[in-house]
Amino acid sequence: MNQITFQAIKNSSTAPVVNVGQRAQTPDGREWVYVKAAEAISANQAVVPDAVVAVDTVSSSTDGLGRIVFITKASAGWTVGEFAEAWVYVDDGTGRGQAGRIKTNTTDTLEIYPEFAFATALAVADSDITIREPFRVDKAAITSKVQGAVGIAQIAIADASYAWVLTRGVGLILAGDTFVVGKSFVTGDDTEGTCVVGTTAKGAFDEQSLGYCLVANAAVDVAALVWVELDA
């Protein structure tokens, strides 16, 4: 696994220093993933993937080697480079079931890495795609206990900025109720980004455990010291 410094995890930036989704470890053994904030995120909040982007009626084209690596949506109006390192999935029509990782994009065309070149060309008459950015993140939503959380912010991250979030090891999480030492915690508080104690006898299908409590919080809506365990 890549190594990063303690200083790196304390900083955010408006331009990426590595690709989003990159994973790394600090010298103390804690593990982190690099994300882009889709909104302002406070320190110690749980973060989850941003909403999917559905795009209907697209076409494809090839590069100079004949590989199907370009996907075009006429007049899409995208920001150049906004989907770099995201994933694209053909969810309907011709070519359905294909997927690839996006290298970059223009205002109307996605370019996927050649390693993911499609085998079947897309047809503007019926091919639809969904773009998923697992590491472009929002604060965890309220009430839901299954959100595919990707990490816990240990610093404040401004909207559209890049930073490392904790995926494994000791850290702080905003606690929406009184945590109990040794018990799990999950998303689902009535405040975005804040977590609650896990439910007895609930499995992964019912709620996503983010780790367990090490030191209980002194009061509701303050940080608790926890062990974060998010391997995916």
Burial of 170 (0-12, 13-18, 19+ CB in 10 A): middle
pLDDT of residue 231: 72
**How far apart are the C-alpha atoms of 112 and 161, rounded to whole Å?**
23
Distance CA 192, CA 22 (A): 25
User: Could you give the CA distance from residue 32 to residue 25 in angstroms, rounded to a whole number?
Assistant: 6
CATH code of 127's domain: 2.40.30
Host domain of residue 199:
2-49+136-229
List average pLDDT for each run of 10 residues in the chain, which is 232 residues long. 95 95 97 97 97 96 98 97 95 97 98 98 97 96 95 98 98 96 96 95 90 95 96 65
**Same domain (yes/no): 72, 44:** no
CB atoms within 10 A of CB 222: 12
CB 8 within 8 A of CB 22: no
Domain boundary residue, one of 132, 148, 178 = 132
The domain boundary residue, chosen from 116, 132, 148: 132
Q: What was the pLDDT predicted at 1?
A: 82
Residue 20: the pLDDT is 94
Question: Distance between CA 172 and CA 224 in Å, rounded?
Answer: 6
What are the C-alpha distances in Å from 182 to residues 46, 150, 169, 209, 221? 19, 21, 14, 12, 19
DSSP state of 220: T
> 183 with 204, same domain?
yes
Task: Report the C-alpha gap between 14 and 100 in whole angstroms.
Answer: 26
Question: Quick one: pLDDT at residue 99?
Answer: 98
The residue written with tokens 């209980």 in the block is 216
Task: Give the span between the Cα atoms of 183 and 207, in whole angstroms.
Answer: 14
Query: What's the confidence (pLDDT) of residue 202?
Result: 85
Whether residue 145 is found in the same domain as residue 225: yes
pTM for this one? Answer: 0.91
Q: What is the pLDDT of residue 101?
A: 97
The domain total for the chain is: 2
140 and 65, same structural domain?
A: no
Residue that is last in its domain, among 102, 132, 162:
132
